[in-house]
Amino acid sequence: MKEEFILNEDFYQKLKELLRENQIMIEEPLAKHTTFLIGGPADYLVLPDSISQVSSLVKLCNKENMPFYILGKGSNLLVSDNGYRGLIIKIGQEFSQISVEESDTTIAGKYLVKAQAGIMLSKMANEIAEHSLEGFEFASGIPGTLGGAVTMNAGAYGGEMKDSIVCVVVADSAGNILELNKEELKLGYRRSIIQDNHYIVLEAAFAFPKGKKEEIRNKMNDLNARRKEKQPLEYPSAGSTFKRPEGYFAGKLIMDAGLSGFKVGNAQVSEKHCGFVINIGGASASEVRALINEVITIVNHKFGVMLEPEVKLLGEF
């Protein structure tokens, strides 16, 4: 059971010295900030709108021994029913500017696109397409922000962040601002040095070649139609629940194990795509966690393959 929240007046006053009052929320339900629509309250949640604010918040938390967590769209996250005891720094729409340099700045014939970490991938893909630049179509239907996508080298339909990324601006765990080039990011399958070193993505630059706007739009529409046809987008979820095991597809293993439609409470293995665990209405975090554990156990027993969750857990379970 979650302990009763007691406002830390000193910490709250220091937050108000760094941010406007409308950027600070107290006991904010995290179910409102995740695509699972699940999660108890965070003690504090803030909405920074600049790199300097993020840096100052990290330094404040370190000084005050306040736990903190960086949140984007919450599209790959399961938050405990008890919530989070500490500060959530949400990099969201307040931190979502994008610029496309079409004139003088080119990299080997490609145009530079710079975007802040809180921009939604769908918005970024549309802006890139509007400038007739190609290579980001795959990301148009991924329901997350740029920061999370860069952190885990997100990908879909044969494309990944690493295909076009040039450099990333991050804050380290002490609040210092660093710039990392593509090689320094060590991007792999759903991995990067950002995860390993607990960096915070603030903005990123990409390079894209010119294409034909109509062809780019057609490709985006095709990929999004395929996603809608094959994925249970009508239900809250965190996307693909499990990483792809080497030599297998998680969804097929789960389906072959007879787990299509399998439920724990109001958490269910999607019948449309068995790689998704969905919230069919009012599911708790503990139900989702129990369902994930059951799927892992049954698939391992039947096929000798140990599935690894792609969804991150936050809080006490």
pLDDT tens column, 166-181: 999 999 999 999 999 9
Residue 106 — pLDDT band, cuts 50, 70, 90? Answer: low
Q: What is the pLDDT of residue 25?
A: 97
Angle, vertex CA 187, rays to CA 181 and CA 191, nearest 5: 135
Residue 221 — pLDDT band, cuts 50, 70, 90? Answer: very high
**Quick check: 69 pLDDT over 70?**
yes
Q: Residue 219 has which token pair? A: 């490709």
Q: What is the pLDDT of residue 29?
A: 97
Q: Report d(CA 234, CA 26) in Å as an integer.
A: 30
- CATH class as words, domain 232-314: alpha beta
Q: Please choose, from the candidates 44, 38, 54, 143, the residue with its C-alpha nearest in 3D space to the C-alpha of residue 91.
A: 54
Angle, vertex CA 91, rays to CA 88 and CA 93, nearest 5: 130
Residues with catalytic annotation? 190, 240, 310
Q: Report d(CA 156, CA 111) in Å as an integer.
A: 22
Q: Please choose, from the candidates 69, 36, 1, 28, the residue with its C-alpha nearest in 3D space to the C-alpha of residue 288.
A: 36
Q: Rounded to the nearest 5°, which phi and psi values hold at 308?
A: -120, 125
- Residue span(s) of the chain under CATH 3.30.43.10 come to 9-90
**Quick check: 39 pLDDT over 60?**
yes
Q: Please choose, from the candidates 249, 285, 250, the residue with its C-alpha nearest in 3D space to the C-alpha of residue 264.
A: 285
Query: Which CATH code fits 95-228?
Result: 3.30.465.10
pLDDT tens for 121-134 read 999 999 999 999 99
Q: What is the pLDDT of residue 23?
A: 97
Q: What is the pLDDT of residue 103?
A: 53
pLDDT tens for 151-162 read 999 888 889 999
Average of per-residue pLDDT values in the chain: 94
**Quick check: 44 pLDDT over 70?**
yes
Q: What is the pLDDT of residue 104?
A: 52
pLDDT tens for 276-290 read 999 999 999 999 999
- CATH class as words, domain 9-90: alpha beta
**Quick check: 1 pLDDT over 70?**
no
pLDDT > 90 fraction of the chain, expressed in percent and rounded? 86
Q: Report d(CA 30, CA 41) in Å as an integer.
A: 5
Beta carbons of 41 and 25 less than 8 angstroms apart = no
Q: What is the pLDDT of residue 190?
A: 82
- Residue span(s) of the chain under CATH 3.90.78.10 come to 232-314
Residue 191 — pLDDT band, cuts 50, 70, 90? Answer: confident
- Residue span(s) of the chain under CATH 3.30.465.10 come to 95-228
Burial class of residue 17 (count of CB atoms within 10 Å of its CB; 0-12, 13-18, 19+): exposed
